[in-house]
Structure 1
């Protein structure tokens, strides 16, 4: 105990801050992966845009009282960018991967494609931020991507699915990458998470309402499976995953946060094993280790003190 007490206060604060970042990132991976499983479950009970509409609308309405009464007063100059972020990060990303799953693209493959987010961020960083990943960050990204291939490869299969459907999660990932970079650059990104998430959910729900109406209707399905799926997507995949995503983004760099999401396909398969009794294998475990190695390479390329104080 005396050794811990002898550690200088700034060093202790740095260790605590780093531990908090790691906890947030671990929770992010778990809740982010839960979104894929939730969509897979809910699509058995309702059309895809109806699911996304009620997921976003319920989330936004539940957050509205807190967004209006807690935090700084909402001003249009800060609200308008959040509407754009909602269109890109919520509507664009969620529609991309959910439509792919709904069209029959394997869930593991969708998770794999969306985990190319760090590469998408790197691709867009130069025109948006005037930045590029270092060689070490590129190495870590490719190592992490290789781990995802190993972990997910045994679950991937190409069935009777239209070829264009495989491009949907790619477009969704590019949409999220653009939102990530714009939010990192925008002064509106300093808005409290509960306010930004509320605005983004409501703006996405407006887009999904139009698509759901075109798809067949906007009224919720009075089915226990649909209601359970929406509750799962609202409280775990929306409140949990997106809040943690933006919290992690504020405490670290976009490159590090997106690299952490390399772990989502293996964790998605663990969720599928728990909920749907899908098999696990040592190949998946090996891929998880390789992915972790890539994440460590990316993370160590960041200066430790700046991780907890970048914003």
Structure 2
């Protein structure tokens, strides 16, 4: 059977080694937390999030319109539900916690426990067994993350219930990730079309969230425009887009396990942009997280082989 035009991008993507895609994913995924901190100086977090979703919904449409028109209604319904969980639920939880006073570092630390959430959901809810090496790798990853983020473990001044928002956001993304992995490849959209649909269904949710707090009109300023551009291009198009692309080529345990490297990369972003200090303890945490990631990735690669 001859290859269709829509098959060609997928074939080109498979020529890129998976570790290269994963490295790019970690780099751009980590930029999201720094972008959130940057944008907080110019506008409410929900307002920036709303307009980044609007920008992506409008900007990506010409590139995915044909695929969306040809997609089955069931596929669009499934992806809409996954998008509400994986994008709207995740961003609302993490950004909402930060907006209520949860320290950004602590919110990022909770969000970076995504690999644990994915493995717990797939193991407990779907009865997918995991070998001891994966659990050991997850334990090392958590330990390294805690070492790297030890300074972020201050409670801040948020109400007690607000600390549950980043946890809920992380679990929402974990649920969407496991759901996405269970969908047949014949019922999946391309990563770009997936990202567009997730942005489209998430935008109205943030219209409601922001309208409850204030106006939804964009702020006419260079800082607001830069915040929207940073989070839309790097964090969402880069980080989220590569996340779904990597999930098409590997297991959820491996892809989320690689994200254990997100906290140290976030620290490097913060050092480069805000001159936040680095320390030898952070280096130790990076090494421990890296060992945990290696165990998870190595085991998942063996199973795939």
TM-score between the two structures when normalised by the length of structure 1: 0.89
2:38 pairs with 1:56: no
1:247 pairs with one of 245, 248, 252? 245
2:286 pairs with 1:288: yes
**How far apart, in 1, do the equivalents of 2:216 and 2:187 lie?**
31
Q: Deviations over 1:50-83 (max 9, x none)?
A: 1111111111211111111358713321111111
| Cα distance, 1:302 vs structure 2 | 1.8
Q: How many residues align?
A: 292
Q: Deviations over 1:213-256 (max 9, x none)?
A: 12212111112111100000011001100111011111111011
Q: Residue 146 of structure 1 aligns to a residue in which SS?
A: helix
Query: In the alignment, which residue of structure 2 is the partner of 1:85?
Result: 82
Query: In the alignment, which residue of structure 2 is the partner of 1:152?
Result: 149
Give yes or no for contact 2:97–2:162 (8 Å, CA) kept in 1: yes
Deviates further, 288-297 or 205-214: 205-214
Q: 1:143 to 1:305 in 2, by over 3 A?
A: closer
Q: Deviations over 1:4-63 (max 9, x none)?
A: xxxxxxxxxxxx979711111111111111001111111221122211111111112111
Unaligned regions of 5+ residues in structure 1, if any? Answer: 1-15
Give yes or no for contact 2:123–2:130 (8 Å, CA) kept in 1: no
2:32 pairs with 1:35: yes
**Superposed CA RMSD:** 2.0
Deviates further, 19-28 or 156-165: 156-165
Q: 1:300 to 1:72 in 2, by over 3 A?
A: farther
Give yes or no for contact 1:183–1:189 (8 Å, CA) kept in 2: no
Unaligned regions of 5+ residues in structure 2, if any? Answer: 1-12
TM-score between the two structures when normalised by the length of structure 2: 0.90
Give yes or no for contact 2:84–2:198 (8 Å, CA) kept in 1: yes
Query: In the alignment, which residue of structure 1 is the partner of 2:299?
Result: 301
**How far apart, in 2, do the equivalents of 1:17 and 1:290 lie?**
30
